[in-house]
Amino acid sequence: METNTKVKATQKKAKSLHISGAEAVVRCLLEEGANLIYGYPGGAIMPIYDELYKFQDRLHHVLTRHEQGATHAAQGYARTSGKVGVAMATSGPGATNLVTGIADAQIDSTPMVCITGQVASHLLGSDAFQETDIIGISTPVTKWNYQITKASEIPEIIAKAFYIARSGRPGPVLIDITKDAQFEKFDYSYKKCNGIRSYAPYPALSNESLEEALTLIDQAKKPFVVWGQGVILGNAEEEFKAFLEKSGIPAAWTILGLSALPTEHPSNRGMVGMHGNYAPNILTNECDLLIAIGMRFDDRVTGDLNTYAKQAKIIHLELDPAEVNKNVTVDVALLSDCKISLKELTKRIASKTYPEWIARFDALDKIEYDKVIKSDLFPKKQGLTMGESIEMINKYSNNDAIIVTDVGQHQMVACRYAKFSQSKSNVTSGGLGTMGFALPAAIGAKMGAPDREVVAVIGDGGYQMTIQELGTIFQQQVAVKIVVLNNDFLGMVRQWQQLFFDKRYASTEMVNPDFVTIAKGFRIQAKRVDKREELDAAVKEMMASKEPYFLEICVEKEDNVFPMIPSGSSVSDIRLE
């Protein structure tokens, strides 16, 4: 008996590894299936990078040209792959350069783990070289963060980080590791995290609330669904589609919910919000039942809260209790994973049609087509429009590309006119509205979905905020297609200045460089078009390329995006011109 016990103890000891904290970090990442990370090295994280060098056959590190680019690339990767994105940086300015991307991921519910190096633990609080309190700085914009000062903490904390980032409502987590913890050796073992005390990421669906929701749906004469990214994050696309098809209820999307339902699906009535479609915005204030699914009633969707859907009963399908009754008071909250709540609703609702209600959508759609869409897509003006440029991309992508957008007029136009046949196809900065997002995010999006075409649609302003990531595209040979819609303005700000500030174009006109020459300097195929007769062939050539490609499309300088709800106005006050 004593001999057997000794043998078992020896076997157990042999299985454990006595390794450095830096090596443990890399092994933990591999345990979590993170074989692709984005980052930028520096002094305080150099021990981890030394281990990455040793494991480069199993874990691919992408050297971005700026730490912000690393976070946006990790976001793009997460959004198209459905996995947790990973970004890495050194202490001080390296860590603080991650913050914009972390804040973007937090508000858009993107699962991401960021790892930063930190000065040695005995120097903490001493204002040492490149020391910054990244824990304090990042606390408001992370789902969770933690500073590791002992190597033995690394496996447990990284396991928790991945669990927290991906579970429930996803979000970014930051782990800060002191340099001495990276050098310190310990007996390593890894156990994945499957739960944390007091953290309940998936609320149980209430039968009472379900019954109340079913009653409201049964009684409704003019029901309307608004869905958001929660449908995509919950992998509930099929359940959502089944609910719409059985219920017969028309539906519209927030920009982050775009692509959860194919563009051509008959229940899909377009976009809500400031630059959304005419019918869904107007009819938000005419419906008698509003069913909100996986969306948070953002101000860009609701406009003036004092006038938003006051005539309607409201059902909110939501995973995060903090979002319920935060902006809009609802009648019934279905707190649960929407994959579950939608399935339960679909089982028990009656099949219905609403011909008169649907006809109201059709009539308003025609008004918008005649006043806005026709001139956007089939313009008579001499200059190119953003709308016809997006329509040309649809033509040569067969509505199957991933479209990554930056922030501004081009973003709204792309969201309005891009067509999608499958989910996880729209990657954009929604809540934070981060200019500079698209170029690095497109890198990650393509790496997350290598078999799909990825087209980054960017304005000339946002493009120059992260233009250095052309170097990453060149070095990694990521076959993204980059389309800059160039109007020589910060277009969205200029539009507001035109409409609300008597055309005082203060600091919005851009004097731009030769974008084609810059792209060619990075050995990227490049072309510029400014005439309508050149557009078709240029887009066709770009989409046919198997390599990175840059296309500059020079569009009308003072073209505006309509419809538009003026800031703070009711959704009923949507303008068509």
Active-site positions? 67, 129-130, 179, 492
User: Of 215, 173, 214, nearest to 193 (Cα)?
Assistant: 173
278 contacts 574 by C-beta, under 8 angstroms: yes
User: Cα 142 vs. chain centroid, distance in angstroms?
Assistant: 15
Question: What percentage of residues in the chain have a pLDDT greater than 90?
Answer: 96
Tokens of 29: 């990442």
What is the predicted pLDDT for the residue at 35? 92
- Model pLDDT for residues 300-319, shown as the tens digit of each residue: 999 999 999 999 999 999 99
Neighbouring C-beta atoms of residue 55, cutoff 10 Å = 16
pLDDT beyond 70 at 1: no
Report the pLDDT averaged over residues 237-255: 98
What is the predicted pLDDT for the residue at 15? 62
What is the predicted pLDDT for the residue at 16? 76
**CA 424, CA 407: separation in Å to the nearest integer?**
18
Using DSSP bridges, classify how beta strands 268-271 and 85-89 pair: parallel, antiparallel or unpaired: unpaired
Using DSSP bridges, classify how beta strands 112-118 and 172-178 pair: parallel, antiparallel or unpaired: parallel
Strand partners, 405: 428, 457
pLDDT beyond 90 at 13: no
> Residue length, the chain?
577
Binned at pLDDT 50, 70 and 90, residue 426 comes out as: very high
CA distances (Å), origin 211, targets 168, 319, 345: 24, 18, 9
Tokens of 103: 């804040």
What is the predicted pLDDT for the residue at 192? 96
CA distances (Å), origin 413, targets 409, 454, 563: 6, 17, 10
pTM value is 0.95
pLDDT beyond 80 at 12: no
Burial of 283 (0-12, 13-18, 19+ CB in 10 A): buried
**CA 2, CA 220: separation in Å to the nearest integer?**
74
What is the predicted pLDDT for the residue at 9? 45
Go through 139-148 and write b for each residue having 16 or more CB atoms within 10 A of its CB, e for each that does not: eebbbbbbbb
- Cα angle, residue 294 at apex, residues 291 and 297 outer, rounded to 5°: 70
- Model pLDDT for residues 53-85, shown as the tens digit of each residue: 999 999 999 999 999 999 999 999 999 999 999
38 contacts 73 by C-beta, under 8 angstroms: yes
User: Of 491, 487, 410, nearest to 455 (Cα)?
Assistant: 410
